[in-house]
Amino acid sequence: MQAQINASLHFEIYYFVDVKMPTLSIIQALFTLLSLALACPFHNGASNPILAAANNNHFRPLQRSNPFSRARTAITNVRIFDGYRLLPASTVIVDRGTIVDVGNSGNAIVHIDGKGGVLMPGLIDAHAHPSDITHLQDLSRYGVTTTMLMACFQPQSCLSLKNHSGLVDVVVGSLIAAAPGSIHGNIVAAVDGNGDRLVYNASMAPQWLDNALSWGPDFVKLIAESPGLDQQTLNVLTKTSQDRRKRVACHASSLDAYEQAAIAGVDDIQHSPSDKPISAGLARRIAFRGQVVTPTLAIMRAISDTSPATRNYTAAEETVRRLKEAGVPIIAGTDSNLVPGLIAIVPFGISLHEELQLLVNAGLSPIEALRAATSTAAKHWGLNDRGVIARGKRADLVLLSGNPLEDISATKTIQRIWLAGVEFSGAVGSF
Ligand SMILES: *[C@@H]1O[C@H](CO)[C@@H](O)[C@H](O)[C@H]1NC(C)=O
Ligand SMILES: *[C@@H]1O[C@H](CO)[C@@H](O)[C@H](O)[C@H]1NC(C)=O
Ligand SMILES: *[C@@H]1O[C@H](CO)[C@@H](O)[C@H](O)[C@H]1NC(C)=O
Ligand SMILES: [Zn+2]
């Protein structure tokens, strides 16, 4: 009985992968050609309807036929990093996408021997820019089970990335709020061919938000930069979003912008300044206001590698040290994107493991880095159904053969991955 089930599971897994790949490469080729032809910085314009249709019409039906989310599964003989601490060897039971028991063997149909490895919650990359299914596959393959799409220029394509069972869950941000004439404002204007979606002043901010929220993004993305939105406009955008119960994430990659984002009271400051480190005083004010920070060291390092004269990675690291000392919650995010010509290419999935290592290099302990990508991220994003291994939570799980609490690089010993209980067939293995 057991063997039969396992055999049919494996058959289905390979079938699932084989069908996808040829179709994807055609879509990829089209996508690349179109985006090159349009020379569009965020892969928008004409490629969007094609991508959105591919995501919606091809992958959704395939995934609906995936049978794995149903069988009651016991993952035995695993030490459990539950999102907070390491528990002794035990068993986790998963049923219909949910963790139904931790510690008791219970009765299960499928048994998986964890061989003394570490089972941890699926990883959260709280800053990424996926635009097609291959990006979601890459994130999933590396154990990323939730990601925040940190900006959306075309609602149709962003929404087509949501709700793919068996793939990373995508939390979608709004259009970026950016000022005319600013670096990010120029991107918005280039995508639209006009300035209709820019924020000109504080008095139009509420109307801008009405438009930005009309299609239902999960959170609001602001840009603090210089030149850019003035303080009053950032304040109004933040307050109005929070009044509408939308979390506010704010880009800030220089010291001045950090100060602005802190004053505006945004929920989450993205990046770590690469001009100068923040002062201990600013770090304390950020802590006092209950703000959190996603330093995105992976991209900060990539940028400073290509522009060492203007981007100081040591300064970015120093900010992380000061934030930690002040007790600011730190969240893992990479800014992963494969957009040619954008500031730096950061590959999906693998970069989150680099981010964990960089956070440790910047002074976090391995357990703090792991929390940054699991329980801390889930808590501050209001995702109360995940980020921890506990009864009733989503079965987003990664089984490792090594122990990342001893050495953070052991997150790279991935054996198996489950996304809301659906095992991912292409787990990367050790890398
Ligand atoms: C995703 O699923 C949620 C919950 O079922 C639903 O409310 C939402 O409309 C779905 N979104 C898309 C884009 O499919
Ligand atoms: C704000 O910007 C809008 C759009 O450009 C403009 O119509 C309006 O007059 C401006 N309001 C103020 C107070 O400057
Ligand atoms: C980079 O930042 C560090 C930390 O603030 C500082 O000590 C160093 O002098 C900076 N390097 C340059 C080239 O400015
Ligand atoms: Zn970004």
**How many whole angstroms separate alpha carbon 43 and alpha carbon 149?**
14
- Which tens digits make up the pLDDT trace of 208-222? 999 999 999 999 999
pLDDT of 8 reads: 27
Distance 229 CA to ligand 2 centre (A): 14
Domains of the chain: 23-60+121-400 (3.20.20.140)
DSSP β-bridge partners for residue 177: 222
Distance 129 CA to ligand 4 centre (A): 6
Q: First vs last Cα of the chain: how many Å apart?
A: 34
Distance 103 CA to ligand 3 centre (A): 49
Q: How far is CA 279 from CA 286, 300, 318, 359, in A?
A: 11, 19, 10, 19
Ligand nearest to the CA of 315: 3
Closest ligand 2 atom, residue 200 Cα: 2
Ligand nearest to the CA of 236: 2
Nearest to 106 by CA among 91, 128, 121, 117: 91
DSSP line for 50-76: HHHHIIIIIIHHHHHT--TTSS-EEEE
3-state DSSP assignment of residue 276:
coil
Beta strands in 116-275 (DSSP E): 118-121, 123-128, 144-149, 169-177, 219-223, 247-251, 268-270
Are the C-beta atoms of 400 and 118 separated by less than 8 Å? yes
Supply the DSSP symbol for 254: S
- Atom 13 of ligand 2: nearest residue by CA position: 203
pLDDT band, residue 50 (cuts 50/70/90): confident
* Phi then psi dihedrals of residue 419, to 5 deg: -115, 110
- For a pocket test of ligand 2, which of 199, 201, 236, 237 has the largest count of ligand atoms closer than 8 A to its C-beta? 201
pLDDT band, residue 51 (cuts 50/70/90): confident
DSSP line for 394-416: B--EEEESS-TTT-GGGGGBEEE
In the structure, ligand 4 is a single-atom ion and the residues with CB under 5 Å from it are: 150, 335
Are the C-beta atoms of 90 and 78 separated by less than 8 Å? yes
pLDDT at 92 over 70: yes
22-37 mean pLDDT: 34
pLDDT at 346 over 50: yes
Distance 311 CA to ligand 3 centre (A): 10
Are the C-beta atoms of 277 and 315 separated by less than 8 Å? yes
**What angle in degrees, to the nearest 10, is found between the helix axes of 231-243 and 205-213?**
50
* Phi then psi dihedrals of residue 259, to 5 deg: -60, -45
Nearest to 82 by CA among 292, 297, 392, 310: 392
Residue 321: half-sphere exposure toward Cβ, Cα within 13 Å? 11
* 204 pocket-lining for ligand 2 (C-beta < 6 Å): yes
pLDDT band, residue 24 (cuts 50/70/90): very low
Rounded to 10 degrees, what is the CA torsion of 262, 264, 265, 270? -60
pLDDT at 18 over 50: no
Q: What number of other Cβ atoms are within 10 A of residue 142's Cβ? A: 26
- For a pocket test of ligand 2, which of 204, 208, 229 has the largest count of ligand atoms closer than 8 A to its C-beta? 204
Token pair of 13, please? Answer: 């897994």
pTM of structure: 0.89
- Atom 5 of ligand 1: nearest residue by CA position: 163
Closest ligand 2 atom, residue 201 Cα: 1
* 318 pocket-lining for ligand 3 (C-beta < 6 Å): yes
**How many whole angstroms separate alpha carbon 21 and alpha carbon 50?**
17
CA angle 66, 71, 76 (to 5 degrees): 120
- Atom 8 of ligand 1: nearest residue by CA position: 163
Least confident of 25-39, 173-187, 244-258, 294-308: 25-39
Ligand nearest to the CA of 180: 2
Closest ligand 3 atom, residue 277 Cα: 5
- Which tens digits make up the pLDDT trace of 274-327? 999 999 999 999 999 999 999 999 999 999 998 888 899 999 999 999 999 999
Q: What number of other Cβ atoms are within 10 A of residue 88's Cβ? A: 7
Distance 204 CA to ligand 2 centre (A): 6
Ligand nearest to the CA of 321: 3
DSSP β-bridge partners for residue 248: 220
pLDDT of 63 reads: 57
Sort residue 307 into left (φ over 0), alpha (ψ -120 to 50) or beta.
Answer: beta
